[in-house]
């Protein structure tokens, strides 16, 4: 069957982003981009997310210039200071203790590249953490193992229970891929999910 649109590629190694994109019922490939994610000196979390989303998309686009490429990245901030990935359980517990009762902004950036078109947007999610006891933190870290997650909270899993409230214009942004924004950007390059989604057989 003839493909009615250029190949769609998700430039990501995240299974959560892959699972979210599957909601659109579009055929797509997944390619992990080779990008240095180290922040630049003085770079804000928002600017870091925007830069890396574009860099990831470009890294794959260079090898697949006839495709539509999706890149995304997320960075978190507390009082405008960046929150990194903890890397180990001790650091995750310490990070969660510092976030207890605090407001954290998760900056999720999204890029869609297609031909000469480059669209990049940022979708923030503001999360207020519950007051967390040491016992609750220890149990959460043992269960969810959030070592590779900025803020040490996996909202796609048990980490949602750490939250007192969450505000965003795009409910999947917190998980790493804002689907409302993505549908709009894909439609702008001729791949509207409502028109291109596979019909179940």
Which active-site residues does the annotation give?
73
Helix (H, G, I), strand (E, B) or coil at 165: strand
* Token pair in block for residue 132: 């967390």
Residue 115: phi and psi, rounded to 5, are 60, -125
Instruction: Read off the DSSP letter of residue 175.
Output: G
* Token pair in block for residue 145: 């193992």
Angstrom distance (rounded) from CA 26 to CA 20: 11
Name the residue among 172, 159, 13, 15 with its Cα closest to residue 92.
Answer: 159
How far, CA to CA in Å, does 191 sit from each of 6, 10, 90, 96, 137? 9, 14, 44, 40, 43
Angstrom distance (rounded) from CA 40 to CA 28: 32
């Amino acid at each position: 069957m003839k493909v009615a649109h250029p190949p769609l590629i998700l430039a990501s190694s995240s299974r959560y982003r892959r699972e979210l994109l599957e909601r659109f019922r579009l055929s797509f490939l997944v390619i992990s981009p080779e990008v240095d994610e180290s922040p630049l000196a003085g770079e804000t979390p928002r600017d870091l997310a925007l830069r890396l989303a574009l860099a990831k998309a470009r890294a794959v686009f260079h090898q697949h210039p006839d495709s539509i490429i999706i890149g995304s990245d997320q960075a978190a901030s507390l009082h405008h200071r960046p929150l990194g990935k903890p890397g180990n359980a001790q650091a995750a517990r310490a990070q969660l203790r510092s976030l207890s009762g605090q407001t954290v902004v998760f900056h999720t950036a999204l890029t869609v590249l297609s031909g000469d078109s480059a669209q990049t947007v940022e979708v923030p999610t503001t999360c207020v953490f519950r007051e967390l006891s040491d016992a609750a933190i220890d149990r959460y870290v043992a269960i969810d193992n959030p070592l590779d997650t900025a803020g040490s909270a996996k909202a796609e899993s048990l980490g949602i229970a750490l939250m007192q409230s969450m505000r965003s214009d795009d409910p999947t942004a917190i998980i790493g891929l804002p689907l409302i924004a993505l549908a709009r950007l894909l439609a702008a390059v001729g791949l509207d999910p409502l028109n291109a989604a596979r019909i179940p057989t």
